[in-house]
Amino acid sequence: MISNISVRFPSRIYLSGLALSLLLILQGCNTALKVGADVREIRPGVLEGYLALQELPNSLLLLPPPPEEGSAAFAADLEISEKTISKGDSVRWEEASRDAILYFPEALESFAGVLDVPVSREQTPHLYLLMRRVMTDASLSTYVAKKHYNRLRPFMVNNQPTCSPGDEEYLMKDGSYPSGHTAIGWAWALVLCELFPENSNLILDRGRAFGESRIVCNVHWYSDVIAGRLMGAATVARLHADPEFIADLNASKKEISRLKKRRE
């Protein structure tokens, strides 16, 4: 009997440990599945934001008109575009091409290098949800002005290539001013600074570069990017008055804290 116990007891510990590990993994997966389960898609792969349309910052009210042709500001746009756009053979062009991707989880790669923990649907479900919903709010904040001004994009003027040739047909129908991508990237950067304050300079620098990637890609003017950055900031300011956003922000902080403790 003593012999039987000595054989079975370690086995029982092993099985219990394995069962516990599997349970924790399954619980993590279930949590990831449950978080945001009640948030609807407004189109395939794109979740609704936190803000109702009437709650979004009004880009037509907040922004000046885009520079007029023949103005000094438009001349600056042309000069900056000429100096900044790439021909497809540089490291910066490749970075800008990656920054153009807004579908998940690939979109997370743009900021992965400046964060202390990996962001994923499984490990940080609240933060994953937060970034997807903030993306929608920041993007939609630009559309009143986009539709009103319907500004031509650089590649439509200079006939140079873009880093997203497959998107050009859509982009031709979508106004250039202000830059929705820039609004998204800057909104992400501001939110991530709250979650990773020790990395704020790196995060903000990445957010700035994310917006400027649109100039490199030849799909936005410099003034579009500056205006997009303002709309990203305005969106985050408004989100801080939204209880659901604040709840997800606080839940994200707890997720990050748990991951950091596991690494210690």
Residues annotated catalytic, as ranges: 181, 214, 220, 224
Q: Which amino acid is at 113?
A: G
Q: How far is CA 73 from CA 64, 68, 99, 173, 221, in A?
A: 12, 8, 26, 24, 11
CB 99 within 8 A of CB 210: yes
* Cα 112–Cα 191–Cα 250 angle in degrees, nearest 5: 105
- Phi/psi for 95 (5° steps) reads -65, -45
Give the span between the Cα atoms of 44 and 132, in whole angstroms: 13
| C-alpha closest to that of 223 among 233, 212, 232, 234 | 212
